[in-house]
């Protein structure tokens, strides 16, 4: 029987809610993100295997670990790995760090040639190594340099340029709103704001008032970042700041499935059915496989330790003997065998988890 017109045409109420949903989609240049919950760039964490994993669980975007604008350092295995995006879903985001407008512009152009589809600029990282060279969040105290960098990079590439900042240099100099306005007028396509100042480092709690003030003053999409660790917190921060999306960093450590839960809560106001322990075990073992094949034997076993530590903490409650075996394994075969043993045992005990 043919469907009646009423069955296929949305009611006025449905139309309104569809329109609201439509407005909530975040657009960055030509890209409409599949979700407004994105993974934060994290050096030493957001390598290609982790980005792919988080995207699989619904992260709307996942930027690379930061890459220096100094091309003399690009020959190292570490830099080459950071620029590897094979098999990654679009849009591929490369984060650059540096303080020289020309060097950043050239680095942006080179990364676009290598497959970057969005260039993200790091003015949020407080790490000494970065700030020692007056990069990252150290740039926030020099607004004219910020403008020159942003203009040079936007002019250099024909892909969207995004910016990640903190709320300011220190609590007496919260110039996030000024920086955001400079960014918008320089042609930056979206902004992520960590609700701490550079001087706060990771101390205290993130504040969202400055993010709310920034959102009120610019028209480009704004992602709120800092201490968002649960679906409920994501909802609260979105409601309070009016931001277009949220960015999640540390809460994804050992829990890449957090994006699934946050998406479900934001889209439908529901809790996702829990993942089975056997599914989680398989995700972890697949992650190990991906790390081993991306990094090879020596670095693979070392980098996997960090993720295994987090998975242990999240799921196993970190029993000392399991930790010792997983951390102490000297090669990938032994490490994988220990992971199979411990997570198999854990999966056999009970059913659902996250």
Active site (catalytic) residues:
125
Sheet holding 190-194, edge to edge: 37-39, 245-248, 222-225, 190-194, 161-166, 118-123, 93-97, 67-68
CB closer to ligand FMN out of 33 and 67: 67
Does 176 participate in binding ligand FMN (rule CB under 6 A)?
no
Does 248 participate in binding ligand FMN (rule CB under 6 A)?
yes
Strand ranges inside 179-227, DSSP E: 190-194, 222-225
- 216 by Cβ neighbours in 10 Å (0-12 / 13-18 / 19+) ranks as exposed
Options 225, 241, 332, 335; binder of ligand FMN; rule CB under 6 A: 225
Within 12-51, which residues bind ligand FMN (CB under 6 A)? 40-45
CA distance 230 to 248: 10
Options 250, 267, 305, 323; binder of ligand FMN; rule CB under 6 A: 250
CA distance 145 to 130: 16
Instruction: Give the x-and-dash track for 116-155 against ligand FMN (CB under 6 A).
Output: ------x-xx------------------------------
Which of 93, 57, 61, 351 is CA-nearest to residue 231?
A: 57
Both tokens of residue 99? 């303080």
Options 98, 160, 249, 256; binder of ligand FMN; rule CB under 6 A: 249
Interface segment toward ligand FMN; rule CB under 6 A; list 53-61, 79-87, 155-163, 225-233 = 225-233
CB of residue 198 to ligand FMN, shortest distance in Å: 12
Residue nearest to ligand FMN (CB): 249
Which residues, including other chains, have CB under 8 Å from residue 100's CB and lie 6 or more apart? 69
Binding site for ligand FMN (CB under 6 A): 40-45, 65-66, 95, 122, 124-125, 164, 194, 225-228, 248-251
């Amino acid at each position: 029987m043919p469907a009646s017109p009423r069955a296929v045409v949305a009611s006025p109420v449905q139309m309104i809610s569809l329109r609201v949903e439509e407005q909530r989609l975040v657009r960055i240049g030509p890209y409409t993100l599949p979700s407004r919950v994105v993974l934060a760039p994290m050096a030493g964490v957001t390598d290609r295997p982790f980005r792919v994993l988080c995207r699989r669980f619904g992260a709307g975007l996942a930027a690379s670990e930061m890459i220096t604008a100094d091309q003399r350092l690009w020959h190292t295995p570490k830099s080459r790995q950071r620029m590897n995006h094979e098999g990654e879903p679009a849009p591929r985001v490369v984060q650059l760090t540096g303080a020289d407008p020309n060097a950043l512009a050239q680095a942006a152009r080179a990364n676009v040639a290598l497959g970057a589809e969005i260039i993200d600029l790091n003015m949020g990282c407080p790490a000494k190594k970065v700030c020692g060279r007056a990069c990252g969040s150290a740039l926030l105290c020099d607004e004219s340099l910020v403008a020159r960098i942003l203009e040079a990079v936007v002019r250099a590439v024909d892909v969207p340029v995004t910016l990640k900042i903190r709320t300011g240099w220190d609590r007496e100099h919260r110039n996030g709103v000024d920086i955001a306005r400079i960014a918008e007028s320089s042609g930056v396509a979206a902004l992520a704001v960590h609700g701490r100042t550079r001087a706060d480092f990771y101390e205290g709690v993130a504040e969202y008032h400055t993010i709310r003030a920034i959102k009120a003053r610019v028209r480009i999409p704004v992602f709120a970042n800092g201490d968002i660790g649960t679906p409920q917190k994501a909802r609260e921060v979105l409601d309070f700041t009016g931001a277009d999306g949220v960015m999640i960093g540390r809460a994804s450590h050992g829990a890449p499935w957090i994006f699934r839960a946050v998406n479900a809560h934001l889209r439908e106001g529901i809790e996702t059915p829990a993942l089975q322990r056997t599914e989680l075990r398989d995700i972890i073992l697949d992650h190990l496989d991906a790390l081993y094949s991306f990094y090879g034997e020596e670095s693979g076993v070392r980098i996997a330790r960090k993720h295994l530590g987090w998975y242990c903490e999240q799921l196993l409650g970190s029993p000392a003997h399991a930790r010792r075996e997983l951390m102490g394994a000297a090669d990938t075969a032994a490490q994988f065998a220990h992971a199979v043993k411990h997570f198999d045992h854990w999966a056999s005990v009970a059913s659902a988890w996250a």
